[in-house]
Amino acid sequence: MKILVAVKRVLDANVRVRVKTDQSNVDLSGARMSMNPFDEIALEEAVRLKEKGVASEVLVVSCGTTACQETLRTALALGADRALLIETQADLQPLAVAKLLKAVADREQPALMLLGKQAIDDDHHQVGQMLAALLGRGQATCASKLEIEAGCAIVTREIDEGTETLSLSLPTVVTADLRLNEPRYATLPNLMKAKKKPLVVFTPADLDVDVTPRLKTLQVAEPPKRQTGIKVAHVAELIEKLREAKVLA
Amino acid sequence: MSVLIITEHDHHDTLIVAATQLGGVIHIFMANNECRVENLAALIAAQATAYSHLLLPATAFGKNLAPRIAALLDVALLSDVIRIVSPDTFVRPIYAGNAEATVQSMDPIKVITVRPSAFERTTSTTSAPSITSSTTTAITFSSPPDLGLSTLVRREPTPRSNRPDLSTAKIVVAGGRGLASADHYHQLLEPLADQLNAALGATRAAVDAGFVSNAFQVGQTGQIVAPDLYIAIGISGAIQHLAGMKDSKTIVAINQDPEAPIFDIADYGLVADLFQAVPELTASISLTTHSITHKSK
Ligand SMILES: Cc1cc2nc3c(=O)[nH]c(=O)nc-3n(C[C@H](O)[C@H](O)[C@H](O)COP(=O)(O)OP(=O)(O)OC[C@H]3O[C@@H](n4cnc5c(N)ncnc54)[C@H](O)[C@@H]3O)c2cc1C
Ligand SMILES: Nc1ncnc2c1ncn2[C@@H]1O[C@H](COP(=O)(O)O)[C@@H](O)[C@H]1O
């Protein structure tokens, strides 16, 4: 069984976000970039399935600029077998990414497609569901548990009211939530070995996919600032202040 | 303009508030929660061409369904919209709420998920429209055929308490890793929540440590809430947590570390050991009147 994992290169979760002064976008110049944390989890799950002998091959795919090669090398060091970069300078939006991944899936015929539930830069939370729709396959988002049994994926997913468990016939699309697993770290020897693993580059045109944006970003601004608060010395003062502000009666 | 609202069992009012801002005819479709997402998406997509806008809540339900509908229609989805600028232009938070993007859709049908907490504000000030008002019509579609792509094995809902629901509560008492154990979380926070008729919330660290189930997680990857009062106890204030609660009207933080980032956004910060401060707070509140006023927003 072949598994396709989609990984996005994003601003590292620990980096402070700065908005450009012209409000055109977030300023990423010189900032530390990482693999989207949910994609690390998706990849870890795929690698574990391979280690258990359930999967035979893990293919990682990233869509974006040449710099995504670095993210793909990390994925190879973490246990992926092959990498594919779909290289473009375009402002890629979720529908375009889903179409690119569908084109790859059509060629590669993976039985399972693992993605993160959301990319922590644009917070869209869309690509997995869109990919499943384009393929006409089932979807299980926000997975906290995944098992492969008799041609089906048994997935426990997190919903607002608790959890639910689904059975999906393969091929299918699963998106990873934080509790699915604890991803491993890439070791230096594995990073060295990853340099020898295959990494192929395509363009959207090679896959015959139109990635023209459907959404136009007019402005990116800082959120409204909260007024600076005060420190209170003890519980009695806290209650007094909350009463003064009519928060407590 | 014609808007189709697709929702499950909650957030009707906030979705109608958002739809009213778009103007025109509003239809509301209540999905049966036994219906599989693949079947539901196909059903809605087949009806969608009659509408200019499809509106869903940015809840687990809407986030699962909306992208699937949008892809079937070959249109973009605007997720987690917090403001409607015009019928084709919307504001949505990005980078865990550290920036806000104003985006314009070029597609013929706008599919949108709406962040309920962002539109609640309006609900309490305007006379709340409802499903029964003249501009809004509840509609039904015949149940969709089963595509057979997925089946439900079981549901394990978090046991319902008699506390208010986290996503709609006026007051939220939230605890983090500082509470140190599940026992402490419950022993310290429940009496306070009871005094205030508040919902309980938690950080991811608290959920990971098993203090409470994931249904209580507030943040970028949990629930987004904006109550009148949010009391953060033993919470450091990581950006991913702030993303879920920074639009609360009043924020109180109790933390022993004066440098904790939660104090940057707290209206009232108390640097103290929570094991002393929380029981004291609970006792002081119960000694005095129980009634809480909610300032209109
Ligand atoms: C992709 C991603 C998504 C995430 N999503 C979320 C999310 O949705 N929600 C979320 O909450 N987190 C999320 N996180 C995790 C987040 O980064 C933080 O790790 C988490 O919020 C920390 O939780 P905490 O404040 O409970 O714990 P800590 O950061 O450990 O803070 C504990 C605090 O308790 C205080 N304390 C300890 N003892 C006492 C005492 N006796 N009295 C008073 N104060 C005390 C300490 O001073 C400290 O400030 C996410 C992380 C990533 C990478
Ligand atoms: N440019 C990209 N390249 C590869 N995978 C992506 C890309 N964008 C999104 N994804 C995948 O889709 C998931 C959800 O992203 P999003 O819908 O953008 O929040 C991510 O966690 C990735 O697995």
Judged by its nearest atom, the ligand closest to the C-alpha of residue B242 is 1
Report pLDDT digits (tens) over A47-80: 999 999 999 999 999 999 999 999 999 999 999 9
Q: Do B95 and A132 touch (CB under 8 A)?
A: no
Q: How confident is the model at residue A233 (pLDDT cuts 50, 70, 90)?
A: very high
What part of B 246-265 touches A (C-beta under 8 Å)? Answer: 246, 249-252, 258, 263, 265
**How many other CB atoms are found less than 10 A from the CB of residue B258?**
9
Question: What percent of chain A is predicted at pLDDT more than 90?
Answer: 93
Q: How far is CA B249 from CA A111, A144, B81, in A?
A: 47, 32, 19
The pLDDT value given to residue A68: 98
**Cα dihedral: A14, B272, B251, B94 (round 10):** 0
Neighbours of B114 (CB within 10 A): 31
Q: How many CB atoms sit inside 10 A of residue B90's CB?
A: 24
- Ligand closest to Cα of A8 equals 2
Rounded distance, CA A84 to CA B27, Å?
44
The phi, psi pair for B3, rounded to 5°, reads -115, 135
Total tally of structural domains belonging to chain A: 1
Contacts of A223 in chain B (CB under 8 A): 93, 97-100, 246
Q: Roughly what angle, to the nearest 10 degrees, separates helices A127-135 and B60-73? A: 50
Whether A152 and chain B come into contact, CB under 8 Å, resolves to: no
Q: Provide the sign of the torsion angle of the four alpha carbons B235, B237, B239, B241, taken in this order.
A: positive
Query: Is the residue at A177 inside a domain?
Result: yes
Does residue A248 form part of some domain? no
What is the token pair recorded at A185?
């770290």
Task: Note every long-range contact of B6-9, with CB atoms under 8 Å and residues 24 or more positions apart, other chains counting.
Answer: B6/B31, B6/B44, B6/B54, B6/B55, B6/B56, B6/B62, B6/B65, B6/B69, B7/B31, B7/B56, B7/B57, B7/B61, B7/B62, B8/B33, B8/B57, B8/B59, B8/B61, B9/B33
Q: Which of B158, B204, B240 sits opposite A161 (nearest CB)?
A: B158
Per-residue pLDDT at B290: 47
A174 domain residue, yes or no: yes
User: How much is the average pLDDT of B253-282?
Assistant: 97
Residues of chain A found within 8 Å of residue B156, distances taken between Cβ atoms: 162-165
Task: Specify if A228 maps to a domain.
Answer: no
Closest CA to A98 of B95, B54, B92, B73: B73
Query: pLDDT digits over B217-226, tens only?
Result: 999 888 999 9
Predicted local confidence at residue A109, as pLDDT: 98
**pLDDT for res B9:** 78
**A-contacting residues of B 95-124, CB under 8 Å?**
95-107
Would you say residue A242 lies in a domain? no
3-state secondary structure A71-128: HHHHHHHCCCCEEEEEECCCCCCHHHHHHHHHHHHHHHCCCEEEEECCCCCCCCCCHH
ipTM of the complex: 0.95
CB B114 within 8 A of CB B56: yes
**pLDDT tier for residue B133 given thresholds of 50, 70 and 90:** low
CA B58 to chain centre: 7
Q: Would you say residue B121 has pLDDT above 60?
A: no
* Test site for ligand 1: of B214, B236, B281, most ligand atoms within 8 A of the Cβ: B236
State whether residue B151 sits within 8 Å of chain A by CB. Answer: yes
Nearest to B103 among A11, A144, A216 (CB): A216
What's the mean per-residue pLDDT of chain B? 90
CB of residue B208 inside a 6 A radius of ligand 1: no
User: What are all long-range contacts of B188-192, with beta carbons under 8 Å and residues at least 24 apart?
Assistant: B188/B233, B188/B274, B188/B275, B188/B278, B188/B279, B188/B282, B189/B233, B189/B278, B191/B279, B191/B282, B192/B231, B192/B278, B192/B281, B192/B282, B192/B285
Q: If pLDDT is split at 50, 70 and 90, which confidence band does A238 have? A: very high
Note the pLDDT of residue B288.
Answer: 64
- Cβ–Cβ gap A168/B107 under 8 Å: no
A201 contact B CB<8A: no
CA-CA distance, B137 to B129, in Å (whole number)? 12
User: What's CA B173's distance to the chain center, in Å?
Assistant: 15
| Rounded Cα–Cα distance for residues B285 and A236 (Å) | 10
State percent of chain A over pLDDT 70.
100
Q: Does B17 touch chain A (CB under 8 A)?
A: no
Under an 8 A CB cutoff, do B76 and A220 touch? no
- Residue of B151, B167, B270 with shortest CB distance to A232: B270
pLDDT average, residue stretch B26-54: 94
Is residue A43 packed enough to be buried (19+ CB in 10 Å), middle (13-18) or exposed (0-12)?
buried
pLDDT at B134: 59
- B194, β-bridge pairs: none
pLDDT at B208 over 80: yes
Q: Would you state the pLDDT for residue B292?
A: 47
CATH number at residue A105: 3.40.50.620
Find the mean pLDDT for residues B120-140: 63
A169 with B149: Cβ contact below 8 A: yes
Output phi, psi for A210, to 5 deg. Answer: -90, 115
The answer to whether residue A229 is domain-embedded is no
- Cβ atoms of A114 and A174 closer than 8 Å: yes
A249 within domain boundaries: no
Contact between chains at B96 and A123 (C-beta distance less than 8 A): yes
- The reply to whether A44 falls in a domain is yes
3-state secondary structure of B257: coil
Q: Taking 70 as the threshold, does the pLDDT of residue B129 lie above it?
A: no
Average the pLDDT over B288-295 and give the result: 48
Give the Å distance between the CA of B206 and the centre of ligand 1.
7
Q: Determine the structural domain holding residue A10 and report its residue range.
A: 2-223
What average pLDDT does chain A have? 96
**Segment A139-152, tens digit of pLDDT:** 999 999 999 998 99
Q: Which atom of ligand 2 is nearest to the CA of A118?
A: 19
Band (pLDDT 50/70/90 cuts) for residue B258 is very high
- Two tokens at B257? 């570390």
- Which residues from chain A sit within 8 angstroms of residue B60, using beta carbons? 142, 158-161
The pLDDT assigned to A120 comes to 96
B82: which 2 tokens?
A: 């917090």
At residue B100 the predicted structure's pLDDT band, cuts being 50, 70 and 90, is very high
What per-residue confidence (pLDDT) applies to B291? 45
Query: Angle at Cα A171 formed by Cα A168 and Cα A172, nearest 5°?
Result: 55
Q: What is the pLDDT of residue B125?
A: 46
CA A94 from centre of chain = 11
Write out the two tokens for A249.
Answer: 């009666």
Query: What pLDDT is attached to residue B297?
Result: 35
CA of residue B206 to ligand 2 center, whole Å: 27
Q: What is the pLDDT of residues A20-35, one digit of tens each?
A: 999 999 999 999 999 9
How far apart are alpha carbons B81 and B57 in whole angstroms?
9
Rounded Cα–Cα distance for residues A167 and A165 (Å): 7
Torsional class of B57: left (φ above 0), alpha (ψ -120 to 50), beta (otherwise): beta
d(CA B13, CA A183): 41
At position B236, the amino acid (one-letter code) is S
How does residue A158 score in pLDDT terms, banded at 50, 70 and 90? confident
pLDDT at residue B296, rounded to an integer = 39
What pLDDT score does B136 carry?
84
Q: What whole-number distance in Å separates Cα of residue B93 and Cα of residue B65?
A: 20
Ligand 2 atom with the smallest distance to the CA of A64 is 1
pTM of the model: 0.94
pLDDT at B130: 54
Cα–Cα nearest to B56, from B91, B35, B30: B30
